[in-house]
Amino acid sequence: MPQILDGVEVRTQILLGLKPRVERLKRPPGLAVVLVGEDPASQQYVRNKIKACAELGIYSEKLTPPASTTTEELLNLIESLNRRPDIDGILVQMPLPKQIDSRKVLEAVAPDKDADGFHPTNVGHLVAGRPAPRACTPAGIIEMLKYYRIPLAGTRAVVVGRSDIVGKPMALMLLAESATVTVCHSRTVDLAQECRRAHILVAAIGKPAMITSEFIAPGAIVIDVGTSRITDAAEAARLGLAEQFASKGSAWVGDVNPVDVKRVAAAYSPVPGGVGPLTIAMLMSNSVQLAERHTCSG
């Protein structure tokens, strides 16, 4: 059986390391979370983030404009948060309603309050190797690989997916660790062959169970970023998730086929319980880091 890369264990260690940093600050870090509308999944994500703040002693403030909010109204709200000295980090929960220009909103967040690490200025700092908030999911993956002492320097890493949130920053962070990185996407010719070259394979393409044994080299380290809900009993059984389906009426699967990865990989991050817990942990890390900068310069 391959080694399980347990994200919950890594998250616990990250949060334990943050607690004394919070206690040393002159005031609690402040995180503002903007949730537009009433999307159930987004509401759950925000609840989890607020809960993590409370456990660490971070002041959190949830702002809930209605789904009818315009781009201009949201920009005004962001600007007011940018001016507040008690708010160190701002997070705008995605997705936003269709009438809102998401790019304008994300770029309106002050770079030194960008808790998600998505602002172009901070992406530029990532490219240049300068300190700045990092995109939370790929930063958490790097922490996981280091926690389990998986060598990165000199290894061949393949990232499947080129999103601004995971794929692109993941490639840059692996490159910063001296891995040799290939980024694949929907138009990659012979995707399976490219993936089989990887010592470390990061699947972030958003297609449930797409990565089968054909894509995985024997002994590879597989990081599964995807999260999809399976509501068909036969499909759940095919993916080895019949027990989970029977107990809950549905099952969660990532971008990697869970049956195949267990047969081929040397180590992998499961879904759920792998990468997911690390995203919020790194959001907390970014928030504390921003507060440290603000209190030192204030």
pLDDT tens column, 14-64: 999 999 999 999 999 999 999 999 888 889 889 999 999 999 999 999 999
Domain that holds residue 40: 28-111
As a three-state string, the secondary structure of 224-248 is ECCCEEECCHHHHHHCCCHHHHHHH
Domain assignment present for residue 242? The answer is: yes
140: which DSSP letter? H
Judge if 145 and 260 occupy the same domain.
yes
Number of domains in the chain: 2
Domain assignment present for residue 163? The answer is: yes
Cα gap 79→210, rounded to integer Å? 41
Q: Biggest alpha carbon distance in the chain?
A: 59
Q: Are 268 and 6 in contact (CB under 8 A)?
A: no
Q: Are 136 and 282 in contact (CB under 8 A)?
A: yes
Burial 225-246 (b: 16+ CB within 10 A, else e): bbbeebeeeeebeebebeebbe
Residue 60 exposed, middle or buried by CB count within 10 Å (0-12, 13-18, 19+): buried
Domain assignment present for residue 13? The answer is: no
Q: Are 213 and 264 in contact (CB under 8 A)?
A: yes
Judge if 70 and 146 occupy the same domain.
no
CA-angle at 57, arms to 54 and 62, nearest 5° = 45
Judge if 80 and 197 occupy the same domain.
no
Q: Are 162 and 185 in contact (CB under 8 A)?
A: yes
Secondary structure class of 179 (helix, strand, coil):
coil
Residue-level pLDDT at 41: 81
Q: Would residue 43 show up in a list of annotated catalytic residues for this protein?
A: no
Domain assignment present for residue 130? The answer is: no
Q: Would residue 88 show up in a list of annotated catalytic residues for this protein?
A: no
Judge if 164 and 208 occupy the same domain.
yes
Judge if 76 and 203 occupy the same domain.
no
Judge if 145 and 105 occupy the same domain.
no
Q: Which of 95, 111, 127 is the last residue of a domain?
A: 111
Residue-level pLDDT at 297: 62
Judge if 198 and 73 occupy the same domain.
no
Mean residue pLDDT across the chain: 95
Judge if 146 and 228 occupy the same domain.
yes
CATH number at residue 220: 3.40.50.720
Judge if 78 and 33 occupy the same domain.
yes
Domain assignment present for residue 63? The answer is: yes
Q: What are phi and psi of 236, to 5 degrees?
A: -60, -40
Domain assignment present for residue 286? The answer is: no
Judge if 69 and 196 occupy the same domain.
no
Residue-level pLDDT at 298: 55
Low-confidence residues of the chain: pLDDT under 50? none
pLDDT tens column, 238-270: 999 998 889 998 899 999 999 999 999 999 999
CATH number at residue 83: 3.40.50.10860
Judge if 105 and 152 occupy the same domain.
no
User: Of these residues, 88, 114, 116, 224, which one is catalytic?
Assistant: 116
Residue-level pLDDT at 13: 96
Cα gap 194→160, rounded to integer Å? 10
Residues 6+ apart with CB under 8 A from 40: none
Domain assignment present for residue 291? The answer is: no
Domain assignment present for residue 116? The answer is: no
Cα gap 249→269, rounded to integer Å? 23
Judge if 148 and 264 occupy the same domain.
yes
Q: Would residue 49 show up in a list of annotated catalytic residues for this protein?
A: yes
User: Of these residues, 49, 114, 168, 224, which one is catalytic?
Assistant: 49
